[in-house]
């Protein structure tokens, strides 16, 4: 009876894809119309979730955190510029005399944020790439399993290494 249970357990171990730990998947970054989109294992991640994942790699985390501060300033500048341009256009549509100099300042603020946004996108992608490269050295790939059937002093033995 014990041999039957042992044989069944051996067949089950060989049939199933066993892992001691679920491997951490890479973070994927791609551009969309609304900015950068992060995903991990098919699930969309927020910027805060990415920041938490990057904490395991200090170099990638510091790089991400450094550009995150400039992103906040850039967002305020773009919002202010957009409001000024929108206000001036609203005045013009309503038939009132808009201050076009003020609209020009708003457009200038919006245009000023473009290089900062490009730099932010490049740095965030570089931080995520750094994180993903660190995963390859820290985790074993899931397909590196080895089954060895060998003889032992009391009979045959099955060695499963992963």
Where are the domains positioned within the chain? 24-161
The stretches in the chain having pLDDT less than 50 are: 17-22, 139
* Residue 20 pLDDT: 46
* Residue 146 pLDDT: 64
3-state SS, residue 146: strand
The backbone torsions φ and ψ at residue 155, rounded to the nearest 5 degrees and listed phi first, read 135, -155
Cα gap 11→16, rounded to integer Å: 9
CA distances from 42 to 28, 37, 45, 157 (A): 9, 12, 9, 39
* Residue 21 pLDDT: 47
* Residue 85 pLDDT: 94
* Residue 15 pLDDT: 54
Cα gap 30→9, rounded to integer Å: 44
* Residue 52 pLDDT: 87
CA 17 to chain centre: 27
* Residue 92 pLDDT: 92
* Residue 108 pLDDT: 95
pTM above 0.85, yes or no: no
Residue 95 tokens read as: 């038939």
- Tell me which DSSP letter residue 24 carries: P
* Residue 65 pLDDT: 87
């Amino acid at each position: 009876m014990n041999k039957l249970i042992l044989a069944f357990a051996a067949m089950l171990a060989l049939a199933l894809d066993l892992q001691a730990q679920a491997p951490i998947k890479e973070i994927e970054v791609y551009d969309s119309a609304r900015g950068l989109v992060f995903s991990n294992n098919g699930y969309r991640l927020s910027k805060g979730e990415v920041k938490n994942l990057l904490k395991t790699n200090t170099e990638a985390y510091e790089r991400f955190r450094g550009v995150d501060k400039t992103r906040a300033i850039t967002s305020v500048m773009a919002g202010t510029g957009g409001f000024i341009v929108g206000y001036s256009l609203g005045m013009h549509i309503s038939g009132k005399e808009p201050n076009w100099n003020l609209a020009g300042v708003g457009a200038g603020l919006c245009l000023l944020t473009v290089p900062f946004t490009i730099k932010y996108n490049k740095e965030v992608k570089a931080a995520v790439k750094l994180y993903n490269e660190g995963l390859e050295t820290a985790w074993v790939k899931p397909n590196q399993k080895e089954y060895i059937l060998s003889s032992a002093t009391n009979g045959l033995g099955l060695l499963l290494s992963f």
